Amino acid sequence: MRGLAEAFRGRPGPIVAATLIVLLVVYAFVLPLVTADPFSMSGMSILDAFSPPIWMDGGQATMPFGADDQGRNLITAMAYGLRTSIMVGAISVVIGLVIGGALGLVAGFVGGRTDAIIMRLADVQLAYPALLLAMVIDGIATAILGRGRSNEMAIAIVIVSIGIAFWVQYARTIRSSVMVERDQDYVAAARVTGRSNTAILIQHILPNVMAPVLVIATINLGIAIITEATLSFLGIGIPPTYPSLGSLIRNGNNFLQSGEWWISVFPCLLLVALVVAVNVLGDHLRDHFNPKIRGRT
């Protein structure tokens, strides 16, 4: 954390990105607290269906971005959707991080056959695009659990599928850092002192291998959000009856031809803004913590 303030000094791009992310998060988590869920009966009013954005003829002050086919106020719907997207993205990244992190730690520290098995598994998985993999996992889960599932179940499956699809990168990064750290003398000193392998791994090595992984996690957050949106857009992720940026875009897509462009374009722009901001931030952190670009001490 000490380096964080320094990491941003004199860099307008990352500062704008970080500010935008904060604003979006506030938007996504505060607005739903004070408005009714547009995806419940009380939250939509069919009379307002297809209401255009405020600056167009027939636009209403209460619906600055217009409303969709069910009369959902887009500014509220997008906040709900954004909230889902951010949560799905963040939780799936954490799942990937925990799975990949644990496997990477063990592979790098134990080495030998364990390492070989874990890394071959990673190689196999890498041969499939993450999106495809998430689709397959989602499909398998649906086959096992049946179609008649609740929204919560669907979301959980999406989260887990995306999480699993991304563990490899974390595992590989952590593994290579662990292999560097485990040969450092401070690890040997802890061994001579009589610390157990688990203690050494968790207390000594883990804090030293986190920085690069957290950077990857930031970058992956953008990818996870896109993946969720894509899955939902394809209709295999979050059901259209539940708000997410992907489901909003998918729904709006039906009306693109008939002139109600705002229903899909605004969620799209929001998605782009979020993902670009996350990526700018991630890239910046990566450069900042890259030992090849910057000395480690």
Q: Widest CA span of the chain, in angstroms?
A: 77
Contact region with another protein (CB under 8 A), list: 15-23, 56-64, 149-157, 204-212: 204-212
| Helix ranges (DSSP H) in the chain | 2-8, 12-34, 74-110, 112-126, 130-145, 151-165, 167-181, 185-193, 197-199, 206-234, 245-253, 262-289
Told to check if 208 binds another protein by CB under 8 A, we report yes
Hey, which residues does 73 pair with through a beta bridge?
67
Q: Which of 186, 269, 272, 290 binds another protein (CB under 8 A)?
A: 186
Contact region with another protein (CB under 8 A), list: 98-106, 169-177, 191-199, 259-267: 191-199
Told to check if 42 binds another protein by CB under 8 A, we report no
Told to check if 45 binds another protein by CB under 8 A, we report no
Question: Is residue 172 a contact partner of residue 213, using CB atoms and an 8 Å limit?
Answer: no
In the bound state with another protein, the residue whose beta carbon lies nearer, of 42 and 193, is 193
Judged by CB under 8 A, the number of residues near another protein is 15
Strand, coil or helix: 210: helix
Told to check if 193 binds another protein by CB under 8 A, we report yes
Residue 275 CB burial class (10 angstroms; 0-12, 13-18, ≥19): buried
Told to check if 297 binds another protein by CB under 8 A, we report yes
Told to check if 7 binds another protein by CB under 8 A, we report no
Told to check if 190 binds another protein by CB under 8 A, we report yes
Question: Is residue 78 a contact partner of residue 65, using CB atoms and an 8 Å limit?
Answer: yes
Q: Report the alpha-carbon distance of residue 184 to residue 190 in Å, rounded.
A: 10
Rounded to a whole number of angstroms, the minimum distance from the CB of residue 208 to another protein is 6
What angle do the packed helices 262-289 and 12-34 form, to 10 degrees? 130
Phi/psi class of residue 194: alpha, beta or left (left: φ > 0; alpha: ψ in -120 to 50)? left
Rounded to a whole number of angstroms, the minimum distance from the CB of residue 180 to another protein is 10
Told to check if 204 binds another protein by CB under 8 A, we report yes
In the bound state with another protein, the residue whose beta carbon lies nearer, of 72 and 204, is 204
Q: Report the alpha-carbon distance of residue 58 to residue 276 in Å, rounded.
A: 32
Reading the block at residue 93, the tokens are 């990244």
In the bound state with another protein, the residue whose beta carbon lies nearer, of 147 and 296, is 296
In the bound state with another protein, the residue whose beta carbon lies nearer, of 54 and 190, is 190
In the bound state with another protein, the residue whose beta carbon lies nearer, of 6 and 152, is 6
| Sign of the torsion formed by the C-alpha atoms of 207, 102, 129 and 162 | negative
In the bound state with another protein, the residue whose beta carbon lies nearer, of 150 and 184, is 184
Nearest-CA neighbor of 73 among 40, 25, 105, 118?
A: 40
- Residues in contact with another protein, shown as a per-residue x/- string from 211 to 230 under the rule CB under 8 A: --------------------
Q: Which of 192, 292, 293, 295 binds another protein (CB under 8 A)?
A: 192
What residue ranges bind another protein (CB under 8 A)?
Answer: 184-186, 188-195, 204, 207-208, 297
